[in-house]
């Protein structure tokens, strides 16, 4: 009896040990980014279990698939901590099989089949296998090593929507080293991109070794200092620190190879005939004036361009492209063509003599200097054609007479791309309205690192349709694809590069790869969480705006309330307070628009197991004008219209960023003339408003502010006004204007802020009307 009891006692810990050895199982999820074309789950079939005995099989002697097998093993290790062997065995049990048996015409297409015995990644070509591997990698859960990974039985059939899926990187304004560029390539592969457009030369630095012209890197890759702050800030400030960097030809070859292993083609850009000041600093005889020139230390468009009338220029370009084509096997070479001022050509005897000699003439559409640019672009295109290459140019290449076979990169919006496709050119869409990832990701830029301007959030990228409606079906075939551009004037380090492209690349990846008929932003947001986890795992820095709480405010004139709608990524609960206390998981959960009818501070937080959002905080100040019916004599500018005229009386004051959406902006000489209906006769004694001033951007203060009152809405009496002095130097401030007067009854209050009609010469915008930005009218 005693012995029995003893053994039973022994059994209890044994049972515990057995139970704790029972491996935890976690499941793969095929709802990835970019979303595959077709995912057919077979819920009734037994899933595949990935464990430490699973092997990756590749065809014997296939070096490329062997590399991919290794890459996949590495991905699995990163994701699950499992060390998986690679092998050429024919025993396909418990295996991930890589193979090429074309089942479709798209070379980048693949099928991923999972059953209880094995996983098969079948590519239409090597590229297809590569993308099948990317899909499997992204589908895997993050694990610690001990778990079984369950892959539900599935048939995935996938291929990309566009053949050209690009990302551009400017390494001239700021330089990124070999490892950083390789990481950029890794990041691209994760997003199924296949083309890196490498902007290697510009006014601020020549970054590629050219053996025949060693001064390009000896001199052209170094600048003595760099502009700090924004290009429009006045006075200009410089950091006083020398800056340099370039890639040797060996490093270039290494990067090109690395990219090829990730199915990424690198298209080099030598930007010409403008954006050449670094080359001119190295070889002044290539410029119209002969110099001296310095590698540029600021941003913008330099007047110093290649002399198009000099045979030395043509020789230089031929020589440079000889070496470029040796280094880059890409079908396309990008030859720039953007932003080339013609002033020096107009005055250069060599350029003018060349124009005469070639019988180049102006016509009703273009100047002879624009045709001179076409001449030089066509020369380079012809030269590269002889080497079996094609050229890409920025959309200015259509000004004058472009070579009929040049591919056009549409950057100044979409119109140039539409025009080019209608003329029969191939087109890559990269409009600055959606695809410039150097633009801000948030409207409220106060907490953002300095950027060039603009506002391109993830949702805007996601909703982009690169096939404009104006094009016919045949013309649409000319749109080869889409690309994001990353100009790096304001992006000094690589972590910041990552911040600017992630997660906007996730949205871009779906524009480039997925079927537009499956597009649904909210559904995309549900899948984005998995991608963000992958970024964390890879230690990529990424912007977290989508995880934060976002708020929109509507002024309800009927109820007198400000209605606040809150949102965040996925279905994380948002908790909020209105009484100034910190929001916690104990605070009320946001369910529907919050109605605010008195001075309050809204604070909110999104709560997630993997970490909470930042605290969102917005004070609202109520006064006699808040949420009262308001009308405007002139509408605000389309781009700066906030939530309509209610933005002026919603209780929220705009901060120092005029583009935050909390200001109304008036352009083209329009004044802000607002009439507020206080709904009943009300004694008033003061009005105030703010103006946001940024003279470097052409945004000036009011010249005059006045108040009129009425009791019947017809007859108005002016009761106060002030004139504001025109500044004599640049300003960047928010200014409060308060007008006080003897108390009087008013039903209607008309507040006018008269804009600057002619900006002063020192502003850089002489004699044209300024913008005026106004917010939060208050009446007391």
Beta-sheet pairing, 25-27 with 148-151: parallel
Least distance in angstroms from the C-beta of 338 to ligand ACM: 4
The pair of structure tokens assigned to 601 is 């501070």
Active-site pick, 168, 191, 275, 575:
275
Least distance in angstroms from the C-beta of 336 to ligand ACM: 8
Strands, E, within 235-365: which ranges? 237-238, 243-244, 265-272, 332-336
Nearer to ligand ACM, 197 or 624 (CB): 197
Least distance in angstroms from the C-beta of 423 to ligand ACM: 20
The pair of structure tokens assigned to 497 is 């590069």
The binder of 67, among Zn ion, ligand ACM, none, by C-beta within 5 to 8 A per type, is none
Active-site pick, 202, 395, 414, 510:
202
Whole-Å CA distances, 151 to 129, 170, 346, 354, 535: 18, 40, 67, 68, 22
Question: What are the beta bridge partners of residue 168?
Answer: 197
Whole-Å CA distances, 343 to 252, 297, 347, 780: 35, 21, 7, 56
Specify burial of residue 548 (Cβ count, 10 A radius: 0-12, 13-18, 19+): buried
Nearer to Zn ion, 351 or 549 (CB): 351
Beta-sheet pairing, 164-170 with 195-199: parallel
Nearer to ligand ACM, 410 or 667 (CB): 410
Applying CB under 5 A, what is the total number of residues that bind Zn ion? 6
The binder of 411, among Zn ion, ligand ACM, none, by C-beta within 5 to 8 A per type, is ligand ACM
Contact set with ligand ACM (CB under 6 A): 338-339, 394, 411
Nearer to ligand ACM, 159 or 411 (CB): 411
- Report the C-alpha gap between 64 and 18 in whole angstroms: 43
288 contributes a contact to Zn ion by CB under 5 A: yes
Least distance in angstroms from the C-beta of 309 to Zn ion: 4
Q: Which of 665, 658, 746 is nearest to 708 (CA)?
A: 746
Nearer to Zn ion, 187 or 288 (CB): 288
Nearer to ligand ACM, 301 or 353 (CB): 301
Chain positions 339 to 358 lying near Zn ion, rule: CB under 5 A, are: 348, 350-351
Contact 230, 696 (CB under 8 A): yes
Nearer to ligand ACM, 392 or 531 (CB): 392
* Signed CA dihedral, 258, 264, 270, 271: sign only: negative
Residue 225 is among the residues annotated as catalytic for this protein: no
- Report the C-alpha gap between 48 and 95 in whole angstroms: 9
* Signed CA dihedral, 379, 385, 389, 393: sign only: positive
The pair of structure tokens assigned to 292 is 């001296």
The pair of structure tokens assigned to 667 is 């352009």
Contact 345, 372 (CB under 8 A): yes
Binding-site string for Zn ion from residue 306 to residue 325, where x marks contact by CB under 5 A and - marks none: -x-x----------------
Residue linked to tokens 């490892």:
179
The binder of 288, among Zn ion, ligand ACM, none, by C-beta within 5 to 8 A per type, is Zn ion
- Report the C-alpha gap between 381 and 264 in whole angstroms: 23
Chain positions 82 to 141 lying near Zn ion, rule: CB under 5 A, are: none
Nearer to ligand ACM, 246 or 394 (CB): 394
Query: How many CB atoms neighbour CB 268 within 10 A?
Result: 23
Which residue number places its CB atom closest to ligand ACM? 338
The binder of 351, among Zn ion, ligand ACM, none, by C-beta within 5 to 8 A per type, is Zn ion
Residue 395 is among the residues annotated as catalytic for this protein: no
Least distance in angstroms from the C-beta of 659 to ligand ACM: 19
Least distance in angstroms from the C-beta of 199 to ligand ACM: 9
Q: How far is CA 560 from the centre of its chain?
A: 38
Least distance in angstroms from the C-beta of 394 to ligand ACM: 5
Nearer to ligand ACM, 431 or 642 (CB): 431
Contact 478, 424 (CB under 8 A): yes
Active-site pick, 339, 448, 538, 637:
339
Contact 568, 548 (CB under 8 A): yes
Q: 356-366 burial by CB neighbour count: b if 16+ within 10 A, else e? A: eeeebeeeeeb
Contact 498, 539 (CB under 8 A): no
Residue 496 is among the residues annotated as catalytic for this protein: no
Specify burial of residue 727 (Cβ count, 10 A radius: 0-12, 13-18, 19+): middle
457 contributes a contact to Zn ion by CB under 5 A: no
The binder of 394, among Zn ion, ligand ACM, none, by C-beta within 5 to 8 A per type, is ligand ACM
State the first-to-last Cα distance of the chain, in angstroms, to the nearest integer: 92
372 contributes a contact to Zn ion by CB under 5 A: no
Contact 632, 673 (CB under 8 A): yes
Point out which residues bind Zn ion (CB under 5 A).
Answer: 288, 307, 309, 348, 350-351
| Residue positions annotated with a catalytic role | 202, 275, 339
């Amino acid at each position: 009896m005693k012995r029995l009891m003893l053994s039973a006692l022994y059994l209890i810990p044994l049972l515990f040990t057995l139970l704790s050895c029972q491996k935890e199982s976690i499941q793969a999820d095929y709802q990835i980014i970019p979303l595959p074309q077709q995912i057919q789950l077979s819920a009734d079939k037994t899933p595949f279990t990935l464990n430490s005995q699973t092997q990756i099989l590749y065809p014997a002697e296939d070096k490329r698939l062997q590399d991919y097998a290794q890459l996949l093993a590495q991905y699995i290790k990163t994701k699950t901590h499992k060390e998986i062997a690679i092998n050429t065995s024919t025993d396909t049990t418990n295996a991930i099989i890589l193979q090429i048996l074309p089942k479709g015409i798209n070379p980048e297409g693949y099928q991923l089949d999972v059953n209880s015995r094995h996983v098969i990644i079948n590519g239409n070509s090597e590229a297809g296998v590569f993308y099948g591997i990317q899909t499997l990698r992204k589908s895997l859960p993050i694990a610690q090593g001990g778990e079984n990974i369950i892959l539900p039985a599935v048939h995935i059939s996938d291929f990309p929507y566009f053949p050209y899926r690009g990302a551009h990187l400017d390494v001239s304004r700021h330089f990124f080293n070999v490892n950083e560029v390789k990481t950029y390539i890794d990041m691209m592969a994760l997003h199924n991109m296949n083309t890196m457009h490498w902007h290697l030369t510009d006014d601020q630095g020549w970054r590629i070794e050219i053996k025949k012209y060693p001064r390009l890197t000896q001199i052209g890759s170094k600048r003595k200092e760099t502009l700090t702050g924004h290009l429009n800030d006045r006075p200009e400030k410089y950091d006083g620190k020398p800056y340099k960097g370039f890639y040797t030809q060996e490093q270039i070859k290494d990067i090109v190879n690395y990219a090829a292993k990730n199915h990424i083609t690198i298209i080099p850009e030598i930007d010409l005939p403008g954006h050449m000041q670094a080359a001119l600093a190295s070889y002044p005889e290539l410029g119209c004036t002969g110099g001296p020139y310095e590698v540029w230390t600021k941003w913008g468009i330099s007047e110093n361009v290649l002399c198009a009338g000099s045979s030395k220029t043509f020789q230089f370009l031929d020589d440079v492209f000889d070496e470029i084509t040796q280094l880059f096997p890409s079908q396309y070479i990008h030859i720039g063509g953007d932003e080339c001022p013609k002033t020096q050509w107009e005055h250069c005897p060599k350029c003018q003599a060349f124009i005469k000699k070639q019988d180049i003439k102006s016509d009703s559409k273009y100047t002879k200097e624009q045709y001179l640019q076409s001449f030089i672009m066509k020369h380079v295109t012809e030269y590269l054609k002889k080497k079996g290459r094609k050229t890409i140019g920025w959309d200015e290449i259509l000004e004058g007479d472009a070579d009929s076979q040049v591919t056009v990169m549409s950057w100044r919006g979409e119109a140039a791309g539409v025009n080019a496709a209608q003329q029969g050119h191939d087109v890559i869409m990269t409009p600055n309205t959606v695809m410039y990832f150097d633009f801000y990701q948030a409207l409220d830029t106060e907490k953002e690192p300095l950027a060039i301007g603009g506002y391109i959030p993830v949702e805007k990228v996601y909703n982009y349709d690169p096939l404009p409606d104006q094009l016919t079906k045949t013309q649409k075939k000319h749109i080869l694809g889409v690309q994001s551009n990353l100009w790096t004037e304001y992006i000094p380090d690589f972590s910041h590069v990552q911040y600017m492209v992630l997660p906007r690349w996730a949205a871009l990846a779906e524009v480039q790869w997925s079927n537009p008929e499956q597009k649904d932003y909210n559904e995309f947001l549900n899948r984005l969480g998995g991608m963000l986890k992958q970024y964390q795992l890879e230690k990529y820095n990424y912007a977290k705006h989508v995880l934060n709480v976002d708020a929109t405010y509507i002024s309800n004139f009927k109820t007198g309330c400000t209605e606040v709608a809150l949102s965040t990524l996925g279905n994380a609960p948002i908790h909020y307070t209105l009484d100034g206390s910190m929001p916690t998981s104990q605070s009320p959960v946001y369910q529907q628009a919050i109605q605010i009818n008195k001075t309050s501070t809204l604070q909110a937080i999104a709560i997630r197991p993997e970490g909470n959002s930042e605290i969102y905080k917005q004070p609202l100040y109520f006064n006699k004008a808040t949420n009262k019916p308001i009308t405007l004599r002139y509408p605000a500018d389309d781009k700066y219209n906030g939530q309509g005229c209610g933005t002026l009386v919603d209780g929220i004051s705009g901060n120092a960023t005029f583009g935050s959406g909390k200001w109304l902006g008036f352009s083209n000489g329009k004044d802000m003339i607002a009439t507020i209906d206080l709904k009943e006769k009300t004694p008033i004694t003061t009005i105030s408003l703010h103006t946001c001033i940024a003279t470097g951007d052409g945004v000036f203060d009011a010249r005059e502010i006045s108040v009129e009152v009425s009791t019947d809405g017809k007859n108005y009496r002016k009761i106060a006004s002030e004139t504001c002095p025109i500044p004599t130097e640049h300003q960047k401030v928010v200014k409060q204007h308060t007008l006080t007067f003897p108390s009087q009854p008013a039903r209607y209050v008309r507040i006018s802020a008269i804009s600057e009609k002619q900006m002063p010469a020192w502003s850089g915008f002489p004699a044209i009307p300024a913008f005026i930005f106004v917010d939060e009218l208050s009446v007391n």
